[in-house]
Chains A and B, each alone.
Chain A
Amino acid sequence: GQNIDQPTEMTATEGAIVQINCTYQTSGFNGLFWYQQHAGEAPTFLSYNVLDGLEEKGRFSSFLSRSKGYSYLLLKELQMKDSASYLCAVGQNFVFGPGTRLSVLP
């Protein structure tokens, strides 16, 4: 089976940096995905990690440690539009974590 955990809510200030953690336990691992979801909309793909280390993509970076069952999503230079839920997903059948609702304040 799979077990995925994320903080429920986070708050940060515009222009700041925020790190959203995801811990997981899974019987088979073929990569970890991060998605962004605005209220009432479908998730949009942010990043994919299959090897240990940091993947950087503009203001967003994602880190993976397979031995620790741990990943984080790092958001830099926060903007108001980054207020959304951030979901990590693992497993062949894409089991999603509970999601982290990020609120960016002015």
Chain B
Amino acid sequence: GAVVSQHPSRVICKSGTSVKIECRSLDFQATTMFWYRQFPKQSLMLMATSNEGSKATYEQGVEKDKFLINHASLTLSTLTVTSAHPEDSSFYICSARPLDRLAGTDTQYFGPGTRLTVL
């Protein structure tokens, strides 16, 4: 159980285009989903936290108009990178926190990641 999928797994796009990444919890409902970005040989950097039905909370330095997050249901969150540029090339990973979880635990389950390359 507790499987999170991401689609696509890999995407190459031209500079100036927009790219949408989907994150789905397949066998559980998630109150909260998180979006991370990871550059080579660096740790995961939290970009934003999204709660179903409400606006996402962005970390300092992350442009909310560039990285659009929609959390339309308890099993789906999307990240849209608008007007992508080469510096946006990175590994984007989502995670989901189950709605029904053991008291006192806040385990997150990670998706497999999406590698974005902007030419």
CA distance A34 to B43 in the complex (A): 13
Binary A-proximity of B28-56 (CB < 8 A = 1, otherwise 0):
00000010100001111110010000000
Which chain A residues in 45-72 approach chain B with CB under 8 Å?
45, 48, 50
Interface membership of chain B positions 64-75, coded 1 if the CB is closer than 8 angstroms to chain A and 0 otherwise: 000000000000
Q: Is the CB of A30 within 8 A of B106?
A: yes
CA distance A68 to B4 in the complex (A): 34
Q: How many A-B residue pairs have CB under 8 A?
A: 52
Q: Is the CB of A43 within 8 A of B107?
A: no
A73 at the interface (CB under 8 A from B): no
Check if B98 is an interface residue, CB within 8 A of chain A: no
Considering only CB atoms and an 8 Å cut-off, how many residues of chain A contact the other chain?
Answer: 23
Q: How far is the CA of A30 from the CA of B108 in the complex (A)?
A: 13
Residues in B neighbouring A48, C-beta threshold 8 A: 105, 107
Bound: A101/B93 CA distance, A: 19
The contact string, 1 if C-beta is below 8 Å from chain A, for chain B 90-119, is 010101000000001111111111010000
B residues in contact (CB < 8 Å) with A: 34, 36, 41-46, 49, 91, 93, 95, 104-113, 115
Residues of A bordering B, CB below 8 Å: 30-31, 33, 35, 40-45, 48, 50, 85, 87, 92-99, 101
